[in-house]
Amino acid sequence: MSTSLPVNSSQHAVPYIKRPNTNFRPSVWGDFFLQYDSDSESTEIINDVKQQEQMLKEVKNIFLSFKNDIGQQLNLIDSLNRLGISYHFESEIDQVLEQIHNNFTNNKEIINKEGDLHFLALAFRLLRQKGHHISPEIFQKFKSNKKNFDEKLSKDVRGIWSLYEAAQLRIHGEVILDEALDFTYTHLNSLIITNDQLISPFLGTQIRRCLKTPLHKGVPRLETRSYISSLSKEPSQNEVLLNFAKVDFNMMQKMYQKEIGSITKWWNKSDFGTKVPYARDRVVEGYFWLLAFSYEPRNSTARKLGSKLILCISLLDDTYDAFATVEELEIFTQAIQRWDINLIQSLPECMKVVFTTILELWDEYEATILESGKLSLLLDYVKEDFYKLANAYLIEAKWCNEGYIPTYDEYKANGIKSSALSMLLLSFIGLGEFSNKELLDWIFSDPKIIDATSTIARLVDDMGSHKFEQQRVHVASSVECCMKQYDMSLQEAYKFIFKDIEDYWIVMNEECLNLDIPSPVLESILNVARASEFVYENFQDKYTNGELMKDSIDILILDPISIEKCE
């Protein structure tokens, strides 16, 4: 059923305007998180903090006890990462990995003496994750006659699992890692299919998960919850580490609940359901994106403001995509460019509400920047990005109106901007501890790594949502552009785009090694691609169809982990 709305608020007759027929489902959460909106600290949280501080000392003692054993150090760092508690030990981890990298660089014998497959693959992955250059030629010794990987390695399940995870960080031209990826995937998949007795239940769980989503491409918080759950069933696990991870995870849940509670309160107070009825109500799903960017306590303010920003972007997206005419959008885009609400007085009231909401959010950003001492340059850059986003949406609206199907590359160039992720990253990182003029200038310059992660987001979004969108009048997605330009079938287009996405991951890997940017910043950029892969996996759109994300929200934010053995 089409919607007919007046184009102004005068009493004169106005022409009938046929609006797109878009019926988004209501939020699956409603007002549920309002119960957590509170500024007070409960006695339970205070006690949790005390318990965490005591357990942190015990974990640091474990770290110190491994200082003379590189293998144990690597395994401990990997565990800290997987358990989601490495942020407590950043300086210690950086120092240890620097020492290990120096050992690998200056003492080649360490590779021959201590270099079993698991050790070298784990060292390779952890070092590359921190931006250290390390050659994949360390795996040459595992090839038979220097040609193919030795089939005997298939018996070393832990080793080929580690090599599979390490190969995800390959860059262009590293043939040995391309071969390693094929070799390890084939053998790990075969072990799972045949239910090989070489695999312990714990290792089997890890292998199944990594074959579905390798650790390098997984959303960190989801990976942590899964790892804690499976490690809890492993008899040989380190109880001190595991219990500390559980306490930490549960404490963070309470913080996330409060954050969503405050955002829900803001959304409800704005009454978008009544004032902007065509838009999606996706407060919790929007928050998920920011939680995926970074789960750490230090980024709480950036998560809350970033969540409001993504919800404003969602309102803007739905206005361009599911409500306004091209003529209205041209006026609206000009108003955003000039940051002037007076230009849209002739437009429908709901569009004025969207514009006013954006202006009010800017006031909140400005107040936060003044209070925290961050650079006001951030506002100028994000304002400019907001115009670029609106203009990209306008281009797509015009393409749709004209029935124009762009080339695949033309679509991607505009899609980098319409993904909005550059602006989200700019605002998120700009409110973080590493923010400075040089970093903001770099992000605003459209660096290759942000273009790559934004393109991945655009492409997986298209594959997840294009069938639903094409049920109505809608701009062609990358899928339709690919099919038309290359005369492909739907399945051929999917295969082509998946290959393109994989290439962008390799580009990001290369940039992480080449850039002199703080690793937490690079990690947030990678997390954009990780979150995108999750939200749109299996050709679904979990943001629009919030029920598809509900179970993940439950385990990340609502369901605490039981700590039976913790005293």
Residue 87 belongs to domain with CATH number? 1.50.10.130
pLDDT tens string 220-240: 999 999 999 999 888 888 899
| Residue 25 domain-assigned (yes or no) | no
pLDDT tens digits for 83-110? 999 999 999 999 999 999 998 877 766 6
> 5 pLDDT band (50/70/90 cuts)?
very low
Please name the amino acid found at residue 521.
V
| Residue 518 binned pLDDT confidence (cut-offs 50, 70, 90) | very high
59 Rama sector, left if φ>0, alpha if ψ -120 to 50, beta otherwise:
alpha
Residue position matching structure tokens 């749109």? 536
Chain segment 305-363, per-residue pLDDT in tens: 999 999 999 999 999 998 999 999 999 999 999 999 999 999 999 999 999 999 999 99
Residues 184 and 240 in one domain: yes
Residues 223 and 275 in one domain: no
Count CB atoms within 10 A of the CB of residue 199.
20
Secondary structure class of 197 (helix, strand, coil): coil
Cα 190 to Cα 198: distance, rounded to the nearest angstrom: 12
Answer yes or no: is 12 within a domain. no
Count how many domains the chain has. 2
CA 70 distance to own-chain centroid: 31
Tell me the per-residue pLDDT of 147-180, one tens digit each, with 9 for 90 and over: 799 999 989 999 999 999 999 999 999 999 999 9
Please state the length of the chain: 567
Residues 182 and 107 in one domain: yes
Average pLDDT over residues 52-59: 87
Position 196 scores a pLDDT of 67
Q: Rg for the chain (alpha carbons), in Å? A: 25
Please measure the distance between the N-terminal and C-terminal CA atoms of the chain and give it in whole angstroms.
60
Q: Is the dihedral of CA 356, 360, 366, 368 positive or negative?
A: negative
Look at residues 543, 540, 463 and name the one whose alpha carbon lies nearest to residue 500. 463
Q: What is the pLDDT of residue 233?
A: 86
Q: Do residues 443 and 395 both lie within one domain?
A: yes
Q: Find out whether 188 and 160 touch, Cβ atoms under 8 Å.
A: yes
Per-residue tokens: 152: 């005997």
Q: What is the pTM of this model?
A: 0.93
Give per-residue pLDDT as tens, 389-430: 999 999 999 999 899 999 999 999 999 999 999 899 999 999
**Same domain, residue pair 193 and 282:** no
Evaluate whether residue 264 is within a structural domain. no
Distance CA 220, CA 241 (A): 18
Answer yes or no: do 205 and 129 share one domain: yes
Which segments of 408-562 does DSSP mark as H helices, in order? 408-418, 421-430, 437-444, 448-469, 478-486, 490-514, 519-535, 550-553
Looking at the structure, tell me whether residues 459 and 367 fall in a common domain. yes
44 CB neighbour count, 10 Å cutoff:
11
Structure tokens belonging to residue 561: 């982990």
Q: What is the pLDDT of residue 347?
A: 96
- If phi over 0 gives left and psi between -120 and 50 gives alpha, with beta otherwise, what is residue 383? alpha
58 in any annotated domain: no
Same domain? 323 vs 180: no
Helices 421-430, 448-469: crossing angle, 10 deg rounding:
130
Confidence bin at 245 (pLDDT 50/70/90): very high
Percent of the chain clearing pLDDT 70 (strictly above): 91
Take residue 384 and report the two structure tokens written for it.
Answer: 């400019």
Percent helix, strand and coil across the chain, each to the nearest 5: 70, 0, 30
Asked whether residue 538 carries a pLDDT value surpassing 50, the answer given is: yes
CA distance 64 to 438: 36
Residue 266 falls inside a structural domain? no
Shared-domain flag, residues 519 and 397: yes
- Residue range of the domain that includes 303: 271-557
pLDDT of residue 566: 40
The confidence band for 11, taking pLDDT boundaries of 50, 70 and 90, is very low
Quote the mean pLDDT of the chain: 90
Q: Is 39 contained in some domain?
A: no
Looking at 107-219, list the stretches that DSSP marks H as alpha helix, in order from N- to C-terminal side.
109-113, 117-129, 157-167, 175-193, 201-212
Amino acid letter, 416: I
In a domain, 76, yes or no: yes
From residue 182, how far is each of 146, 186, 537, 541 by CA, in Å? 16, 6, 22, 29
Distance between CA 408 and CA 188 in Å, rounded? 35
Who has greater pLDDT, 474 or 516? 516
Question: What pLDDT score does 454 carry?
Answer: 96
Q: Does the pLDDT of residue 242 top 90, yes or no? A: yes
Choose one of 244, 261, 287: the last residue of a domain.
244
234 and 320 in a single domain? The answer is no
Kind plus residue range of the DSSP H or E element containing 471: none
Domain CATH number, residue 438: 1.10.600.10
pLDDT score, position 474: 59
pLDDT of residue 16: 64
**Both 365 and 220 in a single domain?**
no
Residues 282 and 373 both lie in one domain: yes
Gap between the Cα atoms of 382 and 359, Å rounded:
12
Does a structural domain hold residue 11?
no
pLDDT at 274 over 50: yes
